[in-house]
Structures are given as C-alpha cells and as structure tokens.
Amino acid sequence: MKSYLIGLIPGDGIGPELIDSAVAVLNAAAAGTFTLDFRWEDGGAGTYLRTGSNLGAGALERIRSMYHATLKGPAGLPGVRSPDGTEAGVLGGVLRRGLDAYANIRPVRSPGAGIDYVLVRENTEGLYASRGCGVGNDWAHSDQLLVTRPGTERIVRKAFELATVRTGAQADGVRRVTCVDKSNVLRSYALFRKIFTEIAAEYPFIEADYLYADAAAYQLIICPGRFDVLVTENFIGDILSDVGAATAGGLGMCPAANIGASAAYFEPAHGSAPALARTDSANPTAQILAAAMLLEFIGEHAGAQAIRTAVDAVVPSANPEAGGALSLTGSLQHLTGQLCRHISRHHASAAPR
C-alpha cells in the first residue's frame, strides 16, 4: 500500500482542533487504499512566544524536501506582535517565500448559489514583498509593490493551466481567466496586465478577461457566476478571497493551496479565531477542503473526491449569516464524525478498491 509522509502544522487558536478534525477525515478517506504518516511541526504565534521564531528548527527544510505535502492550520494571534508592530507567527512570509510557494490557489464554491471559481493569488511578491523595511515613527513608505516579469509569467501561466483543466463550471460555460489589477492607477499593475496579455495569447481557447480590482469586488458579489479563474497580485488576492468567502457560505468554507515548484502546503483561507478555540463550535470545512486539495496534489484523486462529496452532503451549505462567521451552529466533533461516516459508507459502496 502506498504511504505518504505528511507534515502537520497545527498553528494557533482553533488551528489544533481543525487539524485533528482534518486528520480524522483524511484517515477515513485513506482507509484501505493508502496510508498517511503524519509528522507534527511547530509553528505560529505560540511557537514565536516560546522560542522567538515563527517556525520550529528545521521545519522549513523538512517541508521542502521530506514531506510529500503539509497541512497547516490557521496561525497568528492578534496580541502577538513583532518589534515592528506587525503580527508575529502568521507564517505567510516564512512559508510562502521560504518555500517559493508562488501560487495561492483559492477555490470559491457554493453549488446552490451557482458559484464555482478559483482565485489564483500571486504569493511571493506584490505589495507583500517589501514588508519590514523603511519605517520611521511618524511615517512609513516602506511597502512598495513589486511586480517582476518571471513572477508574473509563472502565476499567470498557472492560472491558464488551471483554466485548461477545469470543467468550465460557471454559468455561461465559457472558459475564462480574469486579470484583476488596478492598472488604471498604478504602473506595477500595468506591467502585470501587459504580461497577462502576452501569456493569454498562448491560450487562444480560453477567454482573457480584465477587471479593475474595485469593479471585481463589486462583480464578485453581484454576479459571481460569471467567474471561472481569476489571477491577481498578492494583496488584491488576499482581499478578494475574503469577498468570495462572504458569498459562498462564509470564511469557514474556503480552503487555500500554496504551491511552488518543489513544495506545497495547504491551509484554510481564514484566521485562527482565538475566541472560538476549544468551544467545539469552529467550522472545520475550510481545513477539511484544504486536506482534500492536499490529496489531489499527491495524486489521491478518489480520496479527495470522497471528502468533497461528504462535505457537499453533510455540511449545511450556504450559511445565511455568512459574512465572516466561522462558527457552526452545531458541534465540530459531531460534524467530523458525520463526515468520517459518510466517507466510510462511500468507500463501502464503491467498486472494489
């Protein structure tokens, strides 16, 4: 039986209980077909408080070269700050840039609402590239927008490759990649758009589409069914993925994959919600869908599909109070049990494996 080595970074707040839930679901999906050998890694604000570093010693190297993939919980705590006043322990910078995991793939899906698109967020440059330099007491002009040709080419290609293999699930059936920028104001975004147009020409069977970020935020709410794949700079992608989550059942529903040429890790798109920790009421769906993306990445497609089918069947879909709420109306443990049982039944009724 095939066996995979999987890193686990529980993170902070609700992170550990979400990872426990996802591990139970992963084991249910693997049962009888493959095995997952989990290795725990330290990381996040708790780790920062204990050790002064965001990530345990040697973890980055193990994630890069030892594990087939890594599942990470949300990390960071509002009160935990680096000396420069930004949040310590959020791990975005250390993992995304440390692993050169340049593609942040964020599916937004709500079948009942006709929403099924993927936001492809550049993950290593943009407005996030220069954090931490050039700040005085009463001024800061430290955060410059970095757009490079190689960085943009590879993320735009990733978006078109994704559009090529997707089944064209949006309402009008047209395969389309939408470039979201603010090129009417900022030169860096104009370069991003120019490179997008060049790469788009390599994919004549996919529609190249353009929106300014403000208009995209509006359209994502008014008309989400028109979107297939979107590609954006880092900061715009951060904001739009929360906009998307608000229309698709809330933050608790949206996973993220961080993918580079030689390493990948998977996480929920939301934060660590410390107030919800240990209340047995956090929504594990985003974490579990991140686990399904992990299985997809390592090539265990049937296991990934079993998880998604269970989520569609068991998790109450569009939460009318969406808008960011991460809490379930029921129990996290109970929902995890329901998902595991659904997956086991699905296995039992499937063709011999």
Catalytic residue set: 128, 182, 214, 238, 242
Cβ at position 7, least distance to ligand IPM in Å:
18
The one of Mn ion, ligand IPM, none whose footprint includes residue 306, by CB under 5 to 8 A per kind, is none
Would you tell me how many other CB atoms lie within 10 Å of the CB of residue 194?
13
Cβ at position 116, least distance to ligand IPM in Å:
20
Q: Does 87 bind Mn ion (CB under 5 A)?
A: no
- How big is the site for Mn ion, counted in residues (CB under 5 A)? 1
Would you tell me how many other CB atoms lie within 10 Å of the CB of residue 116?
21
Q: What is 100-166 written as a DSSP string? A: T--EEEEEEEEGGGTEEEEEEEE-SSBTTTTTT-SB-SS-B-----B--HHHHHHHHHHHHHHHHHS
Q: Which of 90, 163, 211, 286 binds ligand IPM (CB under 6 A)?
A: 90
- For ligand IPM, the closer of residues 244 and 284 by Cβ is 244
Site residues for ligand IPM, 229-248, by CB under 6 A, read 238
Cβ at position 271, least distance to Mn ion in Å:
7
Is the CB of residue 288 less than 8 Å from the CB of residue 254?
no
Cβ at position 352, least distance to ligand IPM in Å:
41
The helix/strand/coil state of 336 is: helix
Cβ at position 239, least distance to ligand IPM in Å:
9
Strands of 176-181's sheet in order across = 34-40, 2-9, 69-72, 264-268, 255-259, 103-110, 115-122, 229-232, 176-181, 207-212
Site string for ligand IPM, 252-271 (x = CB under 6 A): -----------------x--
Site residues for ligand IPM, 190-229, by CB under 6 A, read none
Is the CB of residue 324 less than 8 Å from the CB of residue 251?
yes
- How big is the site for ligand IPM, counted in residues (CB under 6 A)? 5
Site residues for Mn ion, 226-285, by CB under 5 A, read 238
Q: Rounded to an integer, what is the distance from CA 307 to the centroid of its chain? A: 17
Query: What is the binding site for Mn ion (CB under 5 A)?
Result: 238
Query: What is the binding site for ligand IPM (CB under 6 A)?
Result: 76, 90, 92, 238, 269
